[in-house]
Amino acid sequence: MKICVIGLGYVGLPLALQFARSGATVLGLDVDPEKTASLNRGESYIAHLAADAIREQLAAGRFTASTDFSLLRSVEAILLCVPTPLTRQREPDLSFVLNTGRALAPHLRRGTLVVLESTTFPGTTDEDLRRVLEEGSGLKAGADFHLAYSPEREDPGNPQSRVADIPKVVGGFTPACLEKALALYRRAVKTVVPVSSCRVAEATKLLENIFRSVNIALVNELKIVYARMGIDIWEVIAAAKTKPFGFMPFYPGPGLGGHCIPIDPFYLTWKAREFGVATRFIELAGEVNTAMPEYVVARVAEALNARAKALKGSRLLVLGLAYKPDVDDTRESPAFRIMDLLKERGAEVAYHDPLVPVIPATREHLAWKGQPSIPWEASAVSRFDAAVIVTRHAALNVRELQQWIPLIVDTRNAMAGVPCAPGQLWKA
């Protein structure tokens, strides 16, 4: 079987390699020629994805990368793994999905299966994507080609997370479309979960991410309440999770990051307005989580004030730019907002992240583009007045940090168990 995965990022590339390992011949398409050239050389541009995994499939002839959409004429299935960001007005941006649909439509053959994996609101697959595919190809979904939706469940940086082991939810436009999609995914994934429609599958993904967003907001709010009472939220969670039923631990932080949790709930919020429904719970969670960088900066100012220092003019080091531990993905990272706020208040701001040696271009934080990570050396780190731990990479040597810097604001409980001097450690 020959398939195509369009979009070779944190979702598409691992998926393409898993299908290749399962015996399919995989064409990887991406609009970025640098990415495809890198892959064809056997190089990985994703920190947690080993280059050996790419070279193995290249050598076996089961994987190749290209920017040429005309090659789609030779495949039996097309999987779309493209971004679904928000606009500046916090509304869904389907441009990547729809433009990809328009680009592939002229090359769509009868009998081909098209599956969308990008997270989106219910109705995207069977309305928006179907429309551009049918208009561009002259074919009809469910009659001339198959259409389905199967949400990605990638967990970057988790060594225990393997594409083959994560159950795959699949919904089809018609029963025949569903059967075609189930047969495809059963080649590469151990457990496939059929649902009654594309919309149910789309709603499933949103529920998963909204569940996390709401519960993280809850512990973020409790963090602030308990801190005022002199209670450590981390100790409370550790005690609560000893209960073997009725409780699932979630952890506070400096704000949400990544391409899912900060964005996906607003897809449902936007779509719900079409039906006259207000999603107050989701929006409240978004407000709480979005306010966390402000809380962190307030704690930094409070910690400095306790040492008779002003935030303005202080030299501050942000530790961890990636949105989660042990990945190089900076999308929607709260570190950017924290750095912006600190700089706006007159601080001198630098960062250290071993996985992000130079800040890449981002849509909302272009002012930081090109700034390098400072070296992890005593002479470099000790010149700062305070450090703010935003991301707890495994490579972060917290004991050296404790020795090198006089004031630490910890948003991740990274310093737990490390003896600090009185007033040296502040939690945020």
Sign of CA dihedral 266, 269, 271, 273: negative
Rounded Cα distance, 417 and 111, in Å: 59
138 torsion bin: left (phi>0), alpha (psi -120 to 50), beta (else): left
Nearest to residue 142, comparing CAs of 114, 107, 100? 114
Burial 188-211 (b: 16+ CB within 10 A, else e): bbeebebbebbbebbbbbbebbbe
Q: How far is CA 422 from the centre of its chain?
A: 37
* 198 classed as catalytic: no
Tokens of 267: 């897809």
C-alpha distance from residue 29 to each of 36, 43, 69, 284, 323 (Å): 8, 16, 7, 39, 26
C-alpha distance from residue 412 to each of 127, 150, 162, 274 (Å): 42, 33, 25, 38
Is 188 in contact with 22 (CB distance < 8 Å)? yes
Choosing from 4, 177, 260, 420, the catalytic residue is 260
Which residues are tagged catalytic? 260
